[in-house]
Amino acid sequence: MAGHFRSYVWDPILIISQIILMQCIYYSFLGIWLAVVDSLVQNSRSLDQVFSYEVLGFSTAQGRLSMMAFILNSLTCALGLWYFIRRGKQCLDFTVTIHIFHFMGCWIYNLHFPTALSWWLVNIVCIALMAVIGEYLCMRTELRAIPVNTGPKSNL
């Protein structure tokens, strides 16, 4: 045990609850971002904006705004990684897990494998942004100087 600076034990309950929490953050803030974007341009809200492959596209204004909401959501989720996960080494793991569950949800919702190139591009960009920014924030916190002498001084 000596010589291990943050030795963690395997805690599947903690990991599963963190996955569920991050998935809730992902969909909650995606819904908020989509509602904000839709209110700006007076679009109707739909579950298709979250799960449909055809909505994310470069050709329509609604598709571009939905892509913007997904990218803003990845920035918000990076803050969630920083606040709740707090480990730079785990940011990529949680980011990919979130997006794999989203991929499976989209596959089930649409009943076919995604073929839209824009959907794949948006999700790859979101994975990269969320992982890199979350890891950067976590590493900044981990590398902070640890105060050694915080107690009262004693005169010897």
- Angle of CA points 14, 132, 53, to nearest 5°: 85
For 114-129, write each residue's pLDDT tens digit: 888 999 999 999 999 9
* Residue ranges of the chain with per-residue pLDDT less than 70: 1-8, 145, 149-156
What whole-number distance in Å separates Cα of residue 16 and Cα of residue 67? Answer: 28
- Nearest residue to 126 via CA among 83, 66, 86, 82: 66
Q: Where are the domains of the chain?
A: 14-141
- Nearest residue to 111 via CA among 52, 58, 59: 52
**pLDDT in the model for residue 154:** 63
**pLDDT in the model for residue 40:** 85
**pLDDT in the model for residue 122:** 95
**pLDDT in the model for residue 44:** 78
**pLDDT in the model for residue 22:** 96
The pTM is what? 0.84
**pLDDT in the model for residue 19:** 95
